[in-house]
């Protein structure tokens, strides 16, 4: 089997100073655009967790949607969007969190999960962990059980993994 970390590493474009000065943006659209590579990575994530270990996949807006939908399709499961504030049309649970400058909020429909449903949560990049920590709390508030959290890329110079502890983080590639 191909080295999945190498596949991800070979499909990242580093974009300096995006979206603001000093940020090195990790653009994973080349991975999404390469069908065979994307499929290998998705299959690898499913194999890591084990099909049967989760009942539904939740993706964090917006690039997490791409990963979540692919895993859901590969496993025959459904997908739940974790959205930025004001986008979901029905009753939501909402949680706000600190960004470097200001605040952001994420939302999920209150009826998104059945009680105790096992939820695999996915995103493209784990940086400070604020987005992920907020999402995992929201999943639980909505009645789900977090079965796992996976990202394509973890930035290990930031404290995301520590922030999520004792929850486990699975990263296809850690840099
Ligand atoms: P954080 O809450 O700091 O862990 O940020 C994670 C969210 O912001 C994810 O949804 C990522 O898509 C995005 N993100 C944060 N930093 C980067 C980066 N350097 N490159 C690409 N995406 C990033």
Instruction: Let me know if 100 is a catalytic residue.
Output: yes
> pLDDT at position 102, please?
83
Q: Is 154 in the pocket of ligand 1 (CB under 6 A)?
A: no
Q: 145: Cβ–Cβ under 8 A, 6 or more apart, which residues?
A: 116, 117, 118, 119
Active site residue 118: no
User: pLDDT digits over 91-121, tens only?
Assistant: 999 999 988 778 999 999 999 999 999 999 9
Query: String of b and e for 56-90 (b: at least 16 CB within 10 Å)?
Result: bbbbbbebbbbbbbbbbeebebebbbbbeeeebee
pLDDT in the model for residue 101: 75
The string of pLDDT tens digits covering residues 30-82 is 999 999 999 999 999 999 999 999 999 999 999 999 999 999 999 999 999 99
Backbone φ and ψ of 107, nearest 5°: -140, 155
Asked if the model's pLDDT at residue 90 lies above 60, the reply is: yes
Taken in order 82, 83, 88, 91, the sign of the CA dihedral is positive
Q: pLDDT for 134-163, tens place per residue?
A: 999 999 999 999 999 999 999 999 999 999
Which pLDDT score is estimated for 43?
98
Count Cα neighbours of 61 within 13 Å in the Cβ-side half-sphere.
14
Query: Mean pLDDT score of the chain, rounded to an integer?
Result: 97
Angle of helix 35-49 relative to helix 63-75, nearest 10 degrees, comes to 70
Identify the pLDDT of residue 17: 96
Residue 1: pLDDT over 60: no
Q: What pLDDT is recorded for position 77?
A: 98
pLDDT at 142: 98
DSSP string covering 136-175: HHHHHHTT-EEEEEEEEEE-TTSSHHHHHTTS--EEEEE-
60 lines ligand 1 (CB under 6 A): yes
How many CA atoms, within 13 angstroms, populate the side-chain half-sphere of residue 165?
5
Q: Which of 90, 100, 103, 162 is catalytic?
A: 100
How is the chain split into domains, by residue range? Answer: 52-174
Q: Give the mean pLDDT of 13-30.
A: 96
Q: Is 151 in the pocket of ligand 1 (CB under 6 A)?
A: no
Go through 124-153 and write b for each residue having 16 or more CB atoms within 10 A of its CB, e for each that does not: bbbbbbbbbbbbbebbeebbbebbbbbbbb
Per-residue confidence (pLDDT) for residue 60, from 0 to 100: 98
Select 52-174's CATH number: 3.40.50.2020, 2.60.40.10, 3.40.50.170, 3.40.50.970: 3.40.50.2020
């Amino acid at each position: 089997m191909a080295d999945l970390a190498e596949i991800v590493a070979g499909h990242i474009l580093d974009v300096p100073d995006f979206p603001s000065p000093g940020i090195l943006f990790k653009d994973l659209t080349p991975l999404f655009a390469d069908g065979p590579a994307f499929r290998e990575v998705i299959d690898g994530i499913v194999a890591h967790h084990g099909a049967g270990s989760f009942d539904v996949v939740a993706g964090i807006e917006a690039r997490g949607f791409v990963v979540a939908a692919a895993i859901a399709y590969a496993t025959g499961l459904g997908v739940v969007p974790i959205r930025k504030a004001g986008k979901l049309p029905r009753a939501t649970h909402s949680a706000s969190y600190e960004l470097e400058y200001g605040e952001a909020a994420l939302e999920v429909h209150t009826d998104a999960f059945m009680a105790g449903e096992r939820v695999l949560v996915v995103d493209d990049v784990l940086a400070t962990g604020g987005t992920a920590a907020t999402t995992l709390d929201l999943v639980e508030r909505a009645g789900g059980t977090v079965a796992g959290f996976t990202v394509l890329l973890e930035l290990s110079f930031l404290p995301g993994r520590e922030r999520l502890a004792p929850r486990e983080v699975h990263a296809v590639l850690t840099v």
